[in-house]
Every structure is written in structure tokens, then in C-alpha cells.
């Protein structure tokens, strides 16, 4: 058997160059996939923030400074047809100050987004929180957004978006 040290120098250099080039291309590919994944995640989160802020703008608490079902207009939870084409699979749910669901979009299965109590507590404390939860066999990215129309937090807007398109893109790469 021929040892590596007996190979001509040109062949050894070509093998080293090929190995280094392969390692460089592999590392670049891993870096690009990671960067693209981060950008896509940020875009999903930005879409959820935009939808939650639009819902919050339409909510009025009335004179009692509490969030009631009548404070949430039915039309505000529905996606317009053009928005559904631009951002498919967006689900909206509004909860009162105790965390009980008072309104949900019609496209939401059974009117519930399975969010954790910790996420609701973060929003009731005035912060926003994200998590990815399974809904009907698919992953949904969820944002809990505080509703603080005139002062203290009076409720929570929970907005979710299906990650089906993101997962399909990842599987194709």
C-alpha cells in the first residue's frame, strides 16, 4: 500500500487544497442556513407584533377600565381577504385581565391557542412573550401582547401564525 508521504508533492497539495475547500464550503453553508433561519424567525415575529398592535388599536375599554367582550369588535378579529393572502394562517385571541378568553378569530380551531400560563403572566405584567406551540399537528408561533389602553394592563392579545410555510422551506433546503 502506498503511504501519503510517498505521494508526489503536487498530489498531496491538491488533496489538502480539496479538503480545505470542502471544509470551507461546508462551514459557509451551515452559517448561511443559520442566518436565513434567524431572518425568517424575525420576520414571523415582526408580523405577529404588527397584527397585535393593529388589534390593540381597535380595542376600547369603555368607562369601567376593564376588557369586556363588547369592547372587542367582532370585525377586528377577522382577517381581511387581502391580509389572508399576504399572511396566511394568522390566529387572534383576546383575553381579559384574568387570562380568560373573551374573543377569538373565526379561523382559530375551537377558539383556543394553547399558550402557557407563563406567557400570559408575562403579558399581564406588561411585557411581550413568544413561544412555539403545536396546534393540530403543526407548529404555530405565538405572541402574547399586553393591552394597556389607558394605563394598567387590562388584557392580553394572543396572536399566532402557522409555521407550515417556514417548515416547508426548511425541508426543501
pLDDT for residue 81: 47
Tell me, yes or no, whether 23 lies in a domain: no
Instruction: Indicate whether 71 belongs to any domain.
Output: yes
Residue 14 pLDDT level (bands cut at 50, 70, 90): very high
- The answer to whether residue 25 is domain-embedded is no
Give the rounded percent of residues in the chain with a pLDDT score beyond 90: 17
Q: pLDDT value at position 131?
A: 92
Summarize the confidence of residues 52-68 as an average pLDDT: 75
Tell whether 160 is covered by a domain.
yes
Q: Over 70: is that where the pLDDT of 147 sits?
A: yes
Number of domains present in the structure of the chain: 1
Rounded Cα–Cα distance for residues 11 and 147 (Å) = 68
Section 134-149 average pLDDT: 83
Query: What does pTM read for this prediction?
Result: 0.75
Cell of 139: 407548529
**Averaged pLDDT, 20-36:** 93
Is the pLDDT at 101 greater than 60, yes or no? Answer: yes
Mean of pLDDT over the chain: 80
Domain of residue 88 covers: 33-172
Instruction: Report the CATH number at residue 167.
Output: 3.30.450.20
Angle at 68 between CA 66 and CA 73, to 5 degrees: 125
Would you say residue 3 lies in a domain?
Answer: no
**Is residue 1 one of the residues assigned to a domain?**
no
- What mean pLDDT is predicted for residues 72-97? 64
In a domain? residue 39? yes
Higher pLDDT pick, 80 / 13: 13
Q: Would you say residue 62 lies in a domain?
A: yes
End-to-end CA, the chain: 41
Per-residue pLDDT at 3? 74
Which letter, b or e, does each residue of 61-70 get, where b requires 16 or more Cβ atoms within 10 Å of its Cβ? Answer: beeeeebeee
| 43 vs 137, residue with greater confidence | 43
How many other β-carbons are positioned within 10 Å of the β-carbon of residue 85?
Answer: 9
Strand order across the 101-104 sheet? 101-104, 90-96, 155-162, 138-147, 129-135
pLDDT at 86 (0 to 100): 53
pLDDT, mean of residues 144-158: 82
Amino acid at each position: 500500500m502506498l503511504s501519503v508521504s510517498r505521494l508526489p508533492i503536487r498530489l498531496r497539495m491538491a488533496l489538502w487544497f480539496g479538503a480545505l475547500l470542502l471544509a470551507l464550503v461546508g462551514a459557509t453553508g451551515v452559517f448561511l442556513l443559520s442566518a436565513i433561519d434567524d431572518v425568517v424567525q424575525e420576520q414571523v415575529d415582526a408580523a405577529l407584533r404588527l397584527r397585535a398592535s393593529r388589534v390593540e388599536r381597535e380595542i376600547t375599554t369603555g368607562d369601567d377600565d376593564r376588557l369586556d367582550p363588547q369592547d372587542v369588535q367582532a370585525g377586528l378579529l377577522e382577517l381581511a381577504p387581502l391580509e389572508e393572502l399576504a399572511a396566511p394562517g394568522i390566529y387572534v385571541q383576546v383575553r381579559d385581565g384574568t387570562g380568560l378568553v373573551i374573543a377569538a378569530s373565526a379561523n382559530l380551531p375551537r377558539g383556543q391557542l394553547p399558550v402557557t400560563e407563563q406567557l400570559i403572566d408575562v403579558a399581564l405584567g406588561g411585557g411581550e412573550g413568544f413561544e412555539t406551540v403545536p396546534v393540530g399537528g403543526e407548529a404555530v408561533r405565538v405572541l402574547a401582547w399586553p393591552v394597556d389602553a389607558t394605563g394598567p394592563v387590562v388584557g392580553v392579545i394572543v396572536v399566532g401564525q402557522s409555521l407550515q410555510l417556514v417548515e416547508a422551506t426548511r425541508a426543501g433546503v
